[in-house]
Amino acid sequence: MKEYLGEFEELVLTIVGILREEAYGNAIVAEIRERVGREVNLSAVHVTLYRLEDKGYVTSQMGGVTKARGGRRKRIFTITNAGLVMLRTMKDVRIDLWKLIPQLNYE
């Protein structure tokens, strides 16, 4: 594997995949809070998104104008094919590794 993805990067990338057209900063923070129960800082999410964009796993464009947000547009992120491939590879690798652990029963 050439590129390496950190744990938090992977989490954010997955959430971007889940949220689709609604993937912008605040929504991602809320989604992580809801699904993972983890409180993350908005700035951390933003920084991670930009880094993922640099690596080519997400793209972004500005959304439509709304009255909320002081009239400022949202920056919407979408997962790219490379991002999807990356997520899938990571998942596969993890499952392969998981299979190698002696299956113990905790009964």
Partner 1 sequence: MNKMRHKADATGQLLRLLEWFCPPELYEGIAGDLLEKFEVEVKLLGMKKARRNFFWGVIWFFRPEIILRNKLSFNPINIIMLKSHLKVAGKRIWARKTNSFVNISGLTLGIVCTLIIAMVIRYELSFDSYHSNADRTYRIVRVSQIEGQLEYRTGVVPALPIALRNDLSGLEKVTAMSYQRNAQVNVIDDKGNTIEKFQEGEGCAIVDESFFEVFDFNGTNFKWLLGDAKSALTAPNTVVLTRSIAEKYFQGINVLGRIIKLEKMLDLKVTGIVEDLPANTDFPFKLLMSHATLQQWRGDSFVTDWNSLSDVYQSYVVLREGVSKTDIEQQIAQIHAANVFKEISSFRSYVLQPLAQVHSDVRFGNYNLRIVTVESIWALGIIGGFLLVMICINFINLSTAQAITRSGEVGIRKVMGSTRWQVVGQAITETLLMIIIASAVAMMASTLILNKAQPLIGFDIPNEPYADGFVWVCLLILIVVITGLAGIYPALVLSRYRPVQAMKKNLDTSSGGFRLRRILLVTQFTIMQILIISTFIAVRQMHLFKEVNMGFDKEAVINVEIPNRSEDKLATFRNDMLSLSSIDKVSFSLSLPSGLKRPRWFWDIRKKGTDASENLVYEYQSVDHQYLDLYDIKLLAGRGFIEADGTDYIIINQTLSSDLGFANPGEAVNSQVIVNGQTMTVIGVMQDFYSNSFKEHFDKVGLVKSPPDYRLASLKLNGPDGKVASYDNLRQSLEYIKRKWDEHFPESVFTYSFLDENVEAFYKEEARLSRLFQLFSFVFLMIGCLGLYGLVSFIVNRKTKEMAIRKVLGASVSQILLLFSKDYLRQIAVAFVLATPVAYYLMSAWLNGFAKQIELHWWYFVGPGVFVLFTALLSVGGQTWKSATANPSNKLRNE
| Out of 18, 47, 85, 93, the residue judged to bind partner 1 by CB under 8 A | 47
The verdict on 82 binding partner 1 (CB under 8 A) reads no
The verdict on 91 binding partner 1 (CB under 8 A) reads no
The verdict on 73 binding partner 1 (CB under 8 A) reads yes
| Out of 6, 20, 26, 94, the residue judged to bind partner 1 by CB under 8 A | 26
Smaller CB separation from partner 1, 11 or 49: 49
| Out of 40, 51, 55, 90, the residue judged to bind partner 1 by CB under 8 A | 51
Q: What are phi and psi of 49, to 5 degrees?
A: -60, -45
Neighbouring C-alpha atoms within 13 Å toward the C-beta of 8: 13
Contacts of residue 98, Cβ cutoff 8 Å, sequence gap at least 6: none
Burial 67-95 (b: 16+ CB within 10 A, else e): eeeeeeebbbbebbeebeebbeebeeeee
| Out of 11, 32, 58, 74, the residue judged to bind partner 1 by CB under 8 A | 74
